[in-house]
Amino acid sequence: MTDPKSPAVELRGLTKDFSVGLRGVRLRAVDRLSLRIEPGEVFGLLGPNGSGKSTTIKVILGLLAPTAGECRVFGVPSSRVEARVEVGYLPEAPNFYRFLSGRELVEFYGRICGLGGAGLGARVAEVIAWVGLTGAADRRVGTYSKGMLQRIGLAQALVHDPQLVILDEPTAGVDPLGTAAITDLIRQLKARGKTVLITSHLLTQIEDVCDRVAILDRGRLLLEGPVDELAAAGGHATKATAETLNAAERDELRQWLAARGKTLAAAEAPRPRLDQIFIEQVERNRPSVEREQP
């Protein structure tokens, strides 16, 4: 049985190697990754393309076995089927059955998750309404736009009301309005006590919705913590606002503000945006040679 008091996800020294090419060269996709995601948290897993985010998610889902290390979901090793009972998953490139209607598709996933009987139809209608697809529920999925596909993907991930929702790039290819709607759904999930693990390259969205983030590069954890704490750490520039100055004073201010006898009307250290932290971390941890490559 899963234990709702255990961390929703716990990774200890998780390592995943793939063997690639005809010679079976070893590629380390995830490298000794340790992370805890607490129940009720919205956690952002960030990193450049190929940094190991989706591989980590597939290990959490039990779709891939780790090469080394441990992975538990609500206290249960992710290799065990029980670990998946409370998990909903939106894959990064969902390949749904094109000839089913949206309603049939969500019903199909509901049945896979053990739902049935009279309650199933009502639950399917409820999640479809929740993702805003009621009007298109009886159209074939093959006719859906990208944004609609992501929404029906969300509906299938939520149909069995899981405690842990894993969304691998839920807003890939979605317009700003659709992105705002998906961000709002994530907030609603949090308000209902669900745990959400999300990957996205839209860092402003992540910043707005996540309690904590981790930044990976080449499978390794570079940085992890609450967005506010990450932003407070590190020597980011201080922005000062002076009282009205004329042009000459502005020139002199550059040399020495205090010597002009002006009072600062406001002085603040603006919080660096998450995209700034992300780029700094990734660049700092890459060898200089790589940095100079186009």
Ligand X SMILES: Nc1ncnc2c1ncn2[C@@H]1O[C@H](COP(=O)(O)OP(=O)(O)OP(=O)(O)O)[C@@H](O)[C@H]1O
Which residues pair with residue 2 across a beta bridge? none
Under the binding rule (CB under 6 A), the answer on residue 50 touching ligand X is yes
Under the binding rule (CB under 6 A), the answer on residue 51 touching ligand X is yes
Q: Site residues for ligand X, window 59-98 (CB under 6 A)?
A: 92
Stretch near Mg ion under the rule CB under 5 A, chosen from 54-62, 114-122, 147-155, 209-217: 54-62
d(CA 170, CA 88): 13
Backbone angles phi, psi at 62, to 5 degrees: 75, 15
**Near ligand X by CB under 6 A: residue from 5, 49, 95, 254:** 49
CB of 261 to ligand X, least distance (A): 53
Under the binding rule (CB under 6 A), the answer on residue 54 touching ligand X is yes
Q: Site residues for ligand X, window 102-131 (CB under 6 A)?
A: none
CB of 203 to Mg ion, least distance (A): 15
Q: Site residues for ligand X, window 3-42 (CB under 6 A)?
A: 18, 20, 27, 29
Binding at 20: pick from Mg ion, ligand X, none (beta carbon under 5-8 Å per type): ligand X
Binding at 49: pick from ligand X, Mg ion, none (beta carbon under 5-8 Å per type): ligand X
**Near Mg ion by CB under 5 A: residue from 2, 33, 46, 54:** 54
CB of 18 to ligand X, least distance (A): 3
**Near ligand X by CB under 6 A: residue from 2, 10, 41, 52:** 52
Q: Return the HEC string of the chain.
A: CCCCCCCCEEEEEEEEEEEECCCCEEEEEEEEEEEEECCCCEEEEECCCCCCHHHHHHHHCCCCCCCEEEEEECCEECCCHHHHCCEEEECCCCCCCCCCEHHHHHHHHHHHCCCCHHHHHHHHHHHHHHCCCHHHCCCEHHHCCHHHHHHHHHHHHHCCCCCEEEEECCCCCCCHHHHHHHHHHHHHHHHCCCEEEEECCCHHHHHHHCCEEEEEECCEEEEEEEHHHHHHCCCCCCEEEECCCCHHHHHHHHHCCHHHCCCEEEEECCCCCHHHHHHHHHHHCCCHHHHHCC
Under the binding rule (CB under 6 A), the answer on residue 153 touching ligand X is no
CB of 67 to ligand X, least distance (A): 12
Q: Between residues 92 and 208, which has the closer beta carbon with respect to Mg ion? A: 92
Under the binding rule (CB under 6 A), the answer on residue 47 touching ligand X is yes
Which residues are at the interface with Mg ion (CB under 5 A)?
A: 53-54, 92
- Which residues of the chain form contacts with ligand X (CB under 6 A)? 18, 20, 27, 29, 47, 49-55, 92
